[in-house]
Chains A and B, each alone.
Chain A
Amino acid sequence: MIGGLFVYNHKGEVLISRVYRDDIGRNAVDAFRVNVIHARQQVRSPVTNIAHTSFFHIKRSNIWICAAAKKNVNAALVFQFLYKMVEVMGNYFGKINEDNIKNNFVLIYELLDEIMDYGYPQNTDTGILKTYITQQGIKSQTKEETTKITNQVTGQIAWRREGIKYRRNELFLDVIESVNLLMSPQGQVLSAHVSGRVQMKSFLSGMPECKFGINDKIVVDSKRQEPGATSGGGNLGGGGKAGHIAIDDCQFHQCVKLSKFDTEHAISFIPPDGEFELMRYRTTKDISLPFRVIPLVREIGRTKMEVKVVVKSNFKPSLLAQKVEVRIPTPLNTSGVQVICMKGKARYKASDNAIVWKIKRMGGMKEWQLSAEIDMLSATDKAKKWTRPPISMNFEVPFAPSGFKVRYLKVFESKLNYSDHDVIKWVRYIGKSGLYETRC
């Protein structure tokens, strides 16, 4: 029961204001601006309670998007809706920024009318929305067309319309994982987890039914009892020990038949047309960490410090990590930095109080090193000690650090005359860094 939705620019000026329920008054818009956007102290919490009204906000670049609710709503639902809304808007007009919002003013209100009704989220699927909210101006639709849309939107398979036809039936599958890590200076893992998602792009004719197989422990175990189960592809990265992984929790796109998953542990679905996120999951066990950072910090007196950082890549030598970036924080009273590194480029970035070391490409099983000398200005106030924030890292590797593997993806379309073998399938694994930090 979201009462209203507001969009502000970075100055706190209201760009979009849509009130769904009467319990949200006009002053709610100002209340959020005054208490959150213009608050003297930066508001960290995404949920703020002002005068018995809850405000849930997210930020995209410099835009604040805020949902206000008087009732005790499910906060997770509200945020999920906000993210969906951002996604829908992104799909319609690209990047969310002030100019784009101003230029698509009418469209946004039209969308807001559709995706939410009396505070209850409705259909937020871009594919469907695009069937009746178009950007090509007003195109009068025939009666049949409108009934078709209505039937489809209210029908059983709301996410896919009938009569889609492609000359080439193609399917793209991306497994995108982000690794989060916190490591002690001695190399002990303090916490690590992977959050991954399976992104799919389908260009299939008709109403195909797909079956998706992964190396999840439960699925594999249940399959093992059935005869004729095919084994998966080769080992890419480190991966699970027995070739299967333990997924802590997962969620699926609405097209997945959950009943089938519950009974047979099979992921079966009729995909929407175009791009969508098939599933999302999280693992915490047996993660193969692609990189290790070994820091060595030596403070020489009060005005000098030596830092040595070694980065080790820990995956197959044939693979290539990209966009590797190591951030080494420097003390707040740094007055000068000399950096030496053999590989990549390193630079002291004063505005971030950090040394940023960028490596474009890095093969597996390599070990590269950076050393830096930091000069400091002796502070007048000695009481404050530098807290040594952790060294953080960014990268992209072409495998799934959790060991997640796609075992098969089968397409069945009984009515049209193409079979599983005619579909061209592309599978890609991307491992990214989330919060990848090593204490120093």
Chain B
Amino acid sequence: VKDSMRGLAVFISDIRNCKSKEAEEKRINKELANIRSKFKGDKALDGYQKKKYVCKLLFIFLLGNDIDFGHMEAVNLLNSNKYTEKQIGYLFISVLISENNELMRLVQQNLKNDLASRNPVHVNLALECIANIGSKEMAEMFAPEIPKLLVMGDAGDTVKQSAALCLLKLFRTAPEMVPIGDWTSRVIHLLNDQHMGVVTAAVSLIEALVKRNPDDFKGCVSLSISRLARIVTSSYTDLQDYTYYFVPAPWLSVKLLRLLQNYPPPEDTTVRNRLAECLETILNKAVEPPKSKKVQHSNAKNAVLFEAISLIIHMDSDPSLLVRACSQLGQFLSNRETNLRYLALESMCLLATSEFSHDAVKRHQETVVTALKSERDVSVRQRAVDLLYAMCDRSNAEEIVGEMLTYLETADYSIRGELVLKIAILAEKYASDYTWYVDTILNLIRLAGDFVSEEVWYRVIQIVINREDVQAYAAKTVFEALEAPACHENMVKVGGYILGEFGNLIAGDARSSPSTQFQLLHGKFHLCSPPTRALLLSAYIKLVNLFPEIREDIIAVLESDANLRNSNVEIQQRASEYLSLARNSTQDVLATVLEEMPPFPERESSILAQLRKKKPAVEDAIRARGEKQQQRPASGAADGAAASAAPTAATPTSGGGGGVKLQGDIAGAESNTDSDLLGLDFGGSAPAAAAGGGGAGGGSVDLLSSILDVGVSSSSSSSAAPSAASGASAQRKTVVVGAGASGSIVGEENWHKFVCKNSGVLYENDILQVGVKCDYQQSSGRIVVYYGNKTPAPLAQFASVINLPDSSLTNQLGIQVKPVGDRVGASEQVNEVITVDCMAEFSACPLLNIRFVYSGVAQSITLKLPLTINKFMQSSEMDSATFFQHWKQLSQPEQECQKIFQAKFPMDAETTKTKILGFGFSLLSNIDSNPANFVGAGIVQTKSGNIGSLFRLEPNQQAQMYRLTVHSIKPGVSKRLCELLETQL
């Protein structure tokens, strides 16, 4: 009875009964004073009292008051052996003690003791507290310990469960702190654990770990499939505690299914069949009548089902399953639950991109169209649009585009812009008849002109210019569209452009005589914005060329003050240039200057890129999968050329480039947007990525981030190309010894950056970008060099050779190269894998010579390979006694190297720390008496033996100088390390 803490209950009920804030405050003040006097009092408090008061403090804190005492008492509670007292202590600590409180050390000691305790309850409390605090410091301290608990044979179920979750939390705060060791393989076997709780916790942990390095955990696939099979086949009575509203272990199932989505479908057929069986059972269960009317039952069931469907979509291998999933989703489309309809549409979107289920999805077209029209929730309508877009192909394009157009009139403003883009893309992609295309787009502009982006009408014009068969039709339709009393500015732009180019094709008709055309266009002129006016002026001068009979009218317009003296410089300039062109030039000159536009180079639709920019995630998923089935012709190559091609056509004629501008408007704008989207914009993105230390950048698809992406998953994808060429590489000598550096070495600054880090851009010019990503383990390393071609033309006779400038390097380094092919395609990137073994310590730096032919000119680039001795160094920890012992042992003059030098960078302790850690040394605290100094140790690992090294760095803030002392077993090593580190500080 004494344990019931009556005082606390009374206090809480007092607070609840307070009539006003003031009364509450008074009551709290009184209680705080009471607790203070108790804590201060001479009488020692027993555990129960301490617990009670700490509890009260906790309650007061949670009411929103500051608590600035009682922390010590809470920490004292941790020493108690009673569960409740310990629990309250830990609770107080995880809620109230901040990370950098000085009591944290005491807490950590207690946590350590409890972790080592034999009482599983205590271990659990400690684990919970570690997870609740979850700071970086905690991760540093306990991340190495907890895995032991996880795989310890005799640990209780609850301990394993908590340990898995605690480790997950630490992994999320500081992934680098969680060590990789033999426990990782054993943690997979937790999936076989008897206790469902342990399995559930373990799956969450494994999924997080799998995201980091999937290869280490491949074994979990078969294990989780068998676990899943056991759950799926069990009836709801089997797993009593883990059955939720008649669904056996829904959370675990969902997690397992999600885990499997990290891997490709299993290769072993028995395993694969087993998985297929499981998925089938889940699909079967979905059609069974519900066992309960409760919403929780259907929610749990559907959660498992949807996860299963996304796994089916992810594997994309079993047609029958895909079709079944599709029909199941089809049923959901007409479900009463809005959420279900939303999810069904979303999943179907992905299904539609699979070749197996595309047709199955198409069967639901009608339902989706009705959903689009009648759905009340805008987000669901949005999904319906996405799905229609995804399911569209040549057979149903006209119908779907028609539906979308009708919907556009009533669509919500929020999705109109996207809808317009989608219609434009579909119309273009599946246009069998280009008159239909032109009709559709003009309709689009008419219906939702405000939402039609520039790209859409650029694209119409590109297509019309490139296809002779539609030009006359386009001119006629545009003319008719312009006849409407009110039309959108975009329509005027299209009209101006097309009539300017092809007005002559419809001039024969009396209804659209030249002067009518001009009057029609000019009727809109005053309502337009300056850019459109400028465009119209170009159209007029084109008309002068086409129809000499209306020349005088046009000259009058150009001459008017409104144009010739317009405040807008662009209009003014065009007016004056065109005016003199129209007045003075002969018909021949006019005809040359104002010639019809040459066809645009074929290229990827810019609209598609626009859409992708809007909704990166979904579109990429759809596109990536789309490309699998239909080999889309690679196109982006000619992009840059488009911008330059047009001006060159007209520059010789010195009329002022009248005709050019019109195309320049389009081509220029195009090349801007395109280059951004296709990732040719190296300048902007490279520094950003380099600064980020190689973290994959934002949404834009730039080349650099794709380098790094490939680097992560290189093992599987990159091996194909090099291995094909490896046969040939036997003859080609890839490593040259002793040859003097051919050409000067470039990219020296970038090289220095690599001393302390392992990935980034090594060199870059207008043609080529060289990125490097390296891994080192003990005495061997792997350097992957990525060559990215930034130009729209291929680089021929591409070859790279590694030069060893110092002949002694041959004995010190074992270098093997998997060379690249002799050609790097336009905007392509290839990689070269160099494996290095460090035989002995070395100081010279291998050179990388790259040769290729670009547009007929042979190029040669020599780079220093970022391979330095410190890359093979592993940091080592030691206490101060050992350190000083080693320091003294290595103090012979040749073993010691000392340098005093000026700081090259701002002297900031934090950056210096990261640099030193990146360099490979450990940082040892509490060794040097001066805390500003850095002291550390590392071991250089070579095939011929390990070389221990110690260093001490003394910064002098006033003089901006450093004194660096390195002690090492081998004299050369200390000198080289000293030199290298000097360059970094």
Which B residues are in CB contact (< 8 Å) with A62? 19-20
A74 lies within 8 A of chain B by Cβ? no
A44 lies within 8 A of chain B by Cβ? no
From A42, A333, A381, B36 is in contact (CB under 8 Å) with: A333
* B15-33 residues at the A interface, CB under 8 angstroms: 19-21, 26-27, 29-30, 32-33
From A42, A352, A377, A380, B21 is in contact (CB under 8 Å) with: A42
Instruction: List, sorted by A's number, 12 A–B pairs whose CB atoms are closer than 8 Å.
Output: A10-B20, A62-B20, A333-B68, A335-B36, A350-B30, A351-B29, A351-B30, A352-B26, A377-B40, A379-B68, A380-B69, A381-B68
Which A residues are in CB contact (< 8 Å) with B37? 335-336
Residue-wise, chain B 101-122 has the 8 Å CB interface mask toward A (1 for contact) of 1010000000000000000000
Which A residues are in CB contact (< 8 Å) with B70? 380
Which B residues are in CB contact (< 8 Å) with A351? 26-27, 29-30, 33
B71 lies within 8 A of chain A by Cβ? yes
Q: Which of B21, B30, B34 has the most CB of A within 10 A?
A: B30
Give the distance to chain B from A120, nearest Cβ to Cβ, in Å: 33
Residue of B nearest to A375 (CB): B40
Which A residues are in CB contact (< 8 Å) with B33? 334-335, 350-351, 353
* A70-105 residues at the B interface, CB under 8 angstroms: none
Complex Cα distance, B18 from A10, in Å, reads 11
Q: Which of B33, B36, B37, B68 has the most CB of A within 10 A?
A: B33
B68 in contact with A380 (CB, 8 Å): yes
A384 lies within 8 A of chain B by Cβ? yes
Complex Cα distance, B32 from A352, in Å, reads 11
Give the distance to chain B from A327, nearest Cβ to Cβ, in Å: 14
Which B residues are in CB contact (< 8 Å) with A335? 33, 36-37, 39-41
Residue-wise, chain B 60-99 has the 8 Å CB interface mask toward A (1 for contact) of 0000000011111000000000000000000000000000
* A319-356 residues at the B interface, CB under 8 angstroms: 332-336, 350-353
Give the distance to chain B from A63, nearest Cβ to Cβ, in Å: 11
Q: Decide: A377 near B72, CB < 8 A? Known: A10-B20, A42-B21.
A: no
Complex Cα distance, B25 from A352, in Å, reads 9
Residue-wise, chain A 162-187 has the 8 Å CB interface mask toward B (1 for contact) of 00000000000000000000000000
Interface size class of A (residues with CB under 8 A): 20 to 34
Residue-wise, chain A 10-28 has the 8 Å CB interface mask toward B (1 for contact) of 1000000000000000000
Complex Cα distance, B70 from A117, in Å, reads 59
Which A residues are in CB contact (< 8 Å) with B103? 380
From B20, B26, B36, B101, A334 is in contact (CB under 8 Å) with: B36
Complex Cα distance, B70 from A387, in Å, reads 22
Complex Cα distance, B30 from A308, in Å, reads 23
Complex Cα distance, B39 from A331, in Å, reads 16
Complex Cα distance, B70 from A436, in Å, reads 36
Give the distance to chain A from B199, nearest Cβ to Cβ, in Å: 42
Residue of B nearest to A40 (CB): B64
Q: Which of B30, B41, B68 has the most CB of A within 10 A?
A: B68
Residue-wise, chain A 341-379 has the 8 Å CB interface mask toward B (1 for contact) of 000000000111100000000000000000000011111
* B34-52 residues at the A interface, CB under 8 angstroms: 34, 36-37, 39-41
Q: Decide: A377 near B36, CB < 8 A? Known: A10-B19, A62-B19.
A: yes
Complex Cα distance, B39 from A376, in Å, reads 10
Interface size class of B (residues with CB under 8 A): 20 to 34
Give the distance to chain B from A279, nearest Cβ to Cβ, in Å: 34
Complex Cα distance, B71 from A378, in Å, reads 11
Give the distance to chain B from A407, nearest Cβ to Cβ, in Å: 44
4 more A-B contacts (CB under 8 A) besides A353-B33, A377-B69? A62-B19, A332-B32, A380-B70, A384-B68
Q: Which residues from chain A sit less than 8 Å from chain B, CB to CB?
A: 10, 42, 62, 332-336, 350-353, 375-381, 384
Residue of B nearest to A378 (CB): B69
Which A residues are in CB contact (< 8 Å) with B34? 350
Which B residues are in CB contact (< 8 Å) with A336? 36-37, 40-41
Q: Which of A42, A336, A380, A384 has the most CB of B within 10 A?
A: A380
Give the distance to chain B from A11, nearest Cβ to Cβ, in Å: 9
Complex Cα distance, B41 from A10, in Å, reads 38
Residue of A nearest to B18 (CB): A10
Which B residues are in CB contact (< 8 Å) with A333? 36, 68-69
Complex Cα distance, B39 from A378, in Å, reads 10
A380 in contact with B71 (CB, 8 Å): yes
Which B residues are in CB contact (< 8 Å) with A378? 69
Which A residues are in CB contact (< 8 Å) with B19? 10, 62
Complex Cα distance, B70 from A376, in Å, reads 13
Which B residues are in CB contact (< 8 Å) with A384? 68
Give the distance to chain A from B317, nearest Cβ to Cβ, in Å: 55
Q: Decide: A352 near B36, CB < 8 A? Known: A333-B69, A380-B71.
A: no
Residue of B nearest to A330 (CB): B33
Which B residues are in CB contact (< 8 Å) with A375? 40
Complex Cα distance, B71 from A336, in Å, reads 19
Complex Cα distance, B792 from A234, in Å, reads 109
Give the distance to chain B from A339, nearest Cβ to Cβ, in Å: 14
Give the distance to chain B from A354, nearest Cβ to Cβ, in Å: 10
Give the distance to chain B from A43, nearest Cβ to Cβ, in Å: 11
Complex Cα distance, B745 from A33, in Å, reads 75
Q: Decide: A377 near B39, CB < 8 A? Known: A10-B19, A62-B19, A350-B29.
A: yes
Which A residues are in CB contact (< 8 Å) with B36? 333-336, 377
Complex Cα distance, B68 from A384, in Å, reads 9
B72 in contact with A380 (CB, 8 Å): yes
From B29, B30, B41, B69, A379 is in contact (CB under 8 Å) with: B69
Give the distance to chain A from B32, nearest Cβ to Cβ, in Å: 8
Complex Cα distance, B101 from A351, in Å, reads 29
Complex Cα distance, B67 from A333, in Å, reads 10
Complex Cα distance, B40 from A378, in Å, reads 9
Residue of B nearest to A354 (CB): B29
Which B residues are in CB contact (< 8 Å) with A353? 29, 33
Complex Cα distance, B40 from A353, in Å, reads 17
Give the distance to chain B from A372, nearest Cβ to Cβ, in Å: 15
Which A residues are in CB contact (< 8 Å) with B39? 335, 377
Complex Cα distance, B29 from A376, in Å, reads 14
Give the distance to chain A from B38, nearest Cβ to Cβ, in Å: 8
A352 in contact with B29 (CB, 8 Å): yes
Complex Cα distance, B21 from A381, in Å, reads 26
Give the distance to chain A from B209, nearest Cβ to Cβ, in Å: 38
Complex Cα distance, B32 from A384, in Å, reads 17
Complex Cα distance, B19 from A208, in Å, reads 49
Give the distance to chain A from B69, nearest Cβ to Cβ, in Å: 5
Complex Cα distance, B29 from A384, in Å, reads 17
Give the distance to chain B from A96, nearest Cβ to Cβ, in Å: 15
The 5 A-B pairs at the shortest CB distance, nearest first, are namely A350-B33, A335-B40, A351-B26, A335-B36, A351-B30
